[in-house]
Amino acid sequence: MGQEAGQMSPAQINHTLKANEYSHTLPRGPASHGVLGFQSNMLPSNHPGEDCRSSATCLPGCDGVLLGVFDGHAGPACAHTVSQRLFYYIAVAMLPLRVLAEIELAVEEERAVPPLLEWYKHPQDHNCPDGGTISFHSLRNYWQERLEDKDLEDEEEEGDRVTSALVNAFRRLDYDLSVEAQVYLSMSSPRRPSLPGEASSMSSPLRVALSGCTACVAYVSNGVLHVANLGDSRAVLGVQEPDGRWSAVSLTNDHNAQNPDELQRILGEHPPSECKTVVRHDRLLGLLLPFRAFGDVRFKWSAEMLSRAHETRPDVLSVVSEAVRTLPPHYLTPPYLSAHPEVTQHRIRPSDKFLVLATDGLWELMHRQTVVQLVGEQLSGLQQQRPIVPASGMTLGGLQRLLLERRGRVISVLEDQNAATHLLRHALGDDGYGAVAPTRLAKMLSLPSELARRYRDDITITVIHLNEPDL
């Protein structure tokens, strides 16, 4: 990086830490659905980074706020695609059929279709092609099928309806990614030369389907929080107890070998004769850590289909990892991998102050209680630095006591206004005693890309603010 590790100046450290930070404040009122705003940040380790994030408000018809983090593997293609397309599928899954019918009529009459989402994006987010025509065609097929099945729409409770919509959206997008890759293969021939850049394009349907990603998505509407999780990213609620202490409440379960229920689910879906091969060395077929993910068709397609992909498009396979280019061992009864999310519902209480969504890169470095403690203390500290407006009738003595108390509680000026950046700083620079060691932080940030992955994963964090902290 042009300088010795650990020699970064404070200005360089902050520039690196804050390069991808983003924040948005939602206007108070019904449209916020119980969300004050959010702050997020990303710090890549891989080159290019394989994590993505998304944030949007659903426009009238499927009101709510959507935020998600996506952790890619075997390349960034799947995470990039899912981060751009999943929220549209969720919107279509939640929209009333009459609204879908109006949208379909507008498309048929070649009129402008009203937007489904209002996106909130950092300039670096969603900066790759999304397969435009293909993705719209697949999305339209989805809403057309919903319209055809209108007689099946029942009177579910609101929470059940949202849960069903989230599950259906996740599974349908994964299905479409698989179908698009198969169509791509059917139109391909080993004799047809690749178009310039086709094999290396992240929007190549086959490359998207061969790579994979986990997803953790929060949907907040009318004061109710739903979290849909697929894989090993996590959602942790920051709760402020009556005495001011902070508690961490997990709203997700990891879908990997460390979760006994998940391990039992995987083993129960395959014959007893495979009990020693389905999970080996705590990995799916000895290869993949998460047991649920988008893409990764090498754990979902038939062996025949995978062999055809290898024979038909070796050019695409040449730009992905070696593990993807070979058939997994003991591949007997696919699919082995699921895109069925686990959904948690939670009604937001006054004591629920924030929700942290983060990819596993953060949780590998920091315990959830530490995460919540850091965010809670940072938010309280920022609030204490706001100008004091004396209450009517407050004496000078009372004001002085208030100022002294506040000065005692705010130990130092907080360097980060963004809670996600604050977490990154502590995760990488922790001195073992709860403080940040500048030298350690500089060394972690200045590692060359070929070494960084040995010490940490890509890290993506979104902190969703639900209620002001109590002072």
Structure confidence at residue 321 as a pLDDT band (50, 70, 90) = low
Q: How far is CA 120 from CA 24, 52, 53, 58, in A?
A: 8, 13, 10, 11
With the CA atoms of 95, 100, 102 and 108 taken in that order, what torsion angle do they form, in degrees rounded to the nearest 10?
150
Predicted confidence band at 5 (pLDDT cuts at 50, 70, 90)? very low
Lowest mean pLDDT among 304-313, 333-342, 461-470: 304-313
Between CA 73 and CA 78 the distance in angstroms is 8
All domains in the chain, ordered by first residue: 10-465 (3.60.40.10)
**What angle (nearest 5°) sits at the alpha carbon of residue 408, between those of residues 407 and 410?**
65
Mention every residue, 6+ apart, whose C-beta is less than 8 A from residue 439. Answer: 6
User: What mean pLDDT is reported for the chain?
Assistant: 86
pLDDT, tens digit, 9 for 90 and up, residues 56-66: 999 876 789 99
Burial 131-170 (b: 16+ CB within 10 A, else e): beeebeebbeebbeebeeeeeeeeeeeeeeebbebbbbbb
pLDDT greater than 70 at residue 7 = yes
Distance CA 169, CA 229 (A): 12
> 229-241 pLDDT, tens per residue?
999 999 999 999 9
CA 439 and chain centroid, separation: 30
**pLDDT per residue over 29-45, tens digit each?**
666 678 999 999 999 99
In tens, the pLDDT along 375-426 reads: 999 998 865 555 555 666 677 776 676 565 545 334 434 679 999 999 999 9
Predicted confidence at residue 93, as pLDDT, reads 95
> Which is it for the CA torsion 21, 25, 31, 33, positive or negative?
positive
d(CA 145, CA 165) in angstroms, rounded, equals: 14
